[in-house]
């Protein structure tokens, strides 16, 4: 990685003029997550700079209107939190991309929709930019995806993209009594590395939102192809009654200390760690409440955790909320807790900070290299409950922390985000032009397969 905003190498003349960008994502509205927020923010910022956007994403029965064209791909429900997966990319879908006449492809996720984007860029000779949002190896371990499934995925990706890579086994730690599980973990990791090599092989520029990504993942591209561009987040103003209204709606007592978490309520977010911390808090702050705002992936698992930690009605679950309702949740809370150890950015950290909340993190890497750049309080492991308690019982400390977090978050604006990605796009176009003669590009763009 050579810096923030532009990939490395000597400065080169960048092409000018508006571009039409084809975005590809395996997640979009009506679901809500950080990738979706990032795409919508980017599309708006690019539009203000004169560029056109079109998004290819799994189709939902009821499309949610946004300010740019969205092409719903054939999709099937996967049975988890209303998530739908695009079907396997075919030649006719590449032709559909070609009909949109994009100048560049930007892939945001590595699922079937993202694979279509990589395939379309490959077949049509288009510049390809990818954003690496997710610590895939952490998710692989959190959900213990079977080796057989990973081998099928790796083989399918390689064959679809015409790439021949021999999967490498990741370095294996020898642990007494756990050799078999360690061996499976190493094999799964090697298969994921091979799939990533195929997926990112033809990419011109890889965008990472924070330096935390590079401390978690070894990307299969040259360092001068990687650029750090933090996603910009804008404030969401709310009325004075927003906080009380949220508390009333969810039966949270007006004076109860409220810890807030926003995100997917699932295993890789370390929700169990948060609930364990709240159970400790409840000893000295018996009225404490924790609000979990986000889609619940495993209700039975969550119910079991609530019983295990004896929290009962101290846990408030809201499910997935609109952006306006999430803003009300920030207004209602006293502290924002982020127990995840797998996130590479955490846009909710910026949202909470801009709403004026003090933020407590469990992940030292994300704290140092994430969007708040050390402004939050970092308290891993057993220190997490104490850090939350300090924010709830020391108003001066909470106020100072909130100001520091907000100051850090204000550095990452949507306009700056759009400008930085625009520079990345122009660099990708220049790079692709240098390796593909214009005649060859024109021929490729007329081919769908």
> Per residue in 85-137, pLDDT tens?
999 999 999 999 999 999 999 999 999 999 999 999 999 999 999 999 877 77
pLDDT of residue 136: 78
The pLDDT, as a whole number, for residue 433 is 80
How much is the pLDDT for 376? 97
- Which pLDDT belongs to residue 166? 57
- Report angle CA 106, 81, 130 to the nearest 5 degrees: 10
Cis, peptide link before residue 281, omega less than 30° from 0: no
**Distance from chain centroid for Cα 25:** 11
pLDDT at 59: 93
- Write down the pLDDT at residue 437: 54
pLDDT of residue 153: 87
State the number of CA atoms in the 13 A half-sphere of 314 facing the CB: 25
Strands 377-378 and 359-361 come out as parallel
- As a whole number of angstroms, the longest Cα–Cα distance in the chain is 72
- Using alpha carbons, select from 105, 107, 112, 41 the residue that is nearest to residue 83: 112
The confidence score (pLDDT) of residue 396 equals: 98
Residue 274's pLDDT is 98
Q: What is the pLDDT of residue 284?
A: 97
**What are the structural domains, with CATH classification, of the chain?**
20-232+413-445 (3.40.50.2000), 242-409 (3.40.50.2000)
CB–CB of 4/420 below 8 Å? yes
Cα 59 to Cα 80, 157, 188, distances in angstroms: 16, 22, 30
The residue ranges of the chain whose pLDDT is under 70 are: 1-15, 81, 142-143, 165-186, 436-449
pTM, entire model: 0.85
**Alpha-helical runs (H) found in 220-321:** 242-249, 271-284, 299-308
């Amino acid at each position: 990685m050579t810096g923030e905003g532009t990939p490395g190498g000597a400065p080169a003349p960048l092409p000018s003029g508006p571009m039409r960008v084809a975005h590809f994502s395996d997640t979009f509205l009506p679901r809500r997550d950080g990738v979706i927020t990032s795409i919508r923010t980017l599309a708006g910022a690019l539009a203000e700079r004169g560029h056109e956007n079109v998004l290819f994403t799994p189709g939902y029965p009821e499309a949610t209107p946004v300010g740019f064209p969205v092409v719903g791909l054939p999709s099937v429900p996967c049975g988890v939190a209303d998530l739908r997966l695009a079907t396997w990319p075919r030649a006719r879908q590449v032709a559909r991309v070609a009909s949109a006449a994009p100048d560049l492809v930007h892939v945001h996720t590595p699922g079937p929709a993202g694979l279509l984007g990589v395939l379309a860029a490959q077949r049509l000779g288009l510049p390809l930019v990818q954003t690496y949002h997710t610590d895939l190896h952490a998710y692989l371990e959190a959900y213990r995806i079977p080796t057989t499934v990973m081998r099928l995925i790796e083989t399918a990706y390689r064959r679809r993209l015409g790439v021949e890579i021999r999967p490498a086994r990741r370095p294996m730690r020898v642990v007494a009594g756990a050799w078999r599980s360690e061996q499976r973990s190493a094999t799964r990791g090697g298969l994921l590395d091979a799939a990533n090599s195929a997926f990112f092989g033809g990419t011109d520029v890889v965008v990472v939102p924070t330096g935390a990504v590079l401390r978690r993942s070894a990307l299969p591209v040259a360092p001068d192809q990687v650029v750090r561009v933090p996603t910009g987040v804008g404030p969401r103003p709310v009325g004075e009654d927003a906080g009380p209204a949220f508390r009333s709606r969810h039966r949270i007592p007006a004076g109860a200390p409220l810890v807030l978490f926003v995100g997917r309520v699932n295993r890789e977010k370390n929700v169990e760690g948060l609930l364990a911390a709240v159970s400790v808090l409840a000893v000295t702050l018996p009225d404490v409440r924790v609000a979990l705002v986000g889609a619940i992936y495993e209700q039975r698992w969550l119910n079991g955790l609530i019983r295990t930690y004896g929290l009962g009605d101290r846990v408030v679950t809201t499910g997935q909320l609109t952006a306006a309702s999430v803003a009300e949740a920030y207004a209602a809370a006293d502290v924002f807790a982020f127990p995840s150890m797998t996130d590479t950015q955490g846009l909710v950290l910026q949202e909470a900070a801009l709403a004026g909340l003090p933020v407590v993190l469990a992940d030292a890497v994300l704290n140092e290299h994430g969007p708040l750049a050390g402004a939050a309080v970092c308290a891993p492991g057993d220190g997490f409950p104490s850090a939350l308690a300090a924010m709830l019982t020391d108003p001066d400390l909470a106020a100072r922390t909130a100001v520091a977090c907000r100051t850090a978050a204000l550095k990452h604006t949507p306009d700056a985000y759009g400008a930085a990605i625009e520079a990345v796009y122009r660099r990708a176009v220049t790079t692709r032009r240098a390796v593909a003669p214009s005649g060859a590009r024109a021929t490729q763009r007329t081919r769908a397969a």
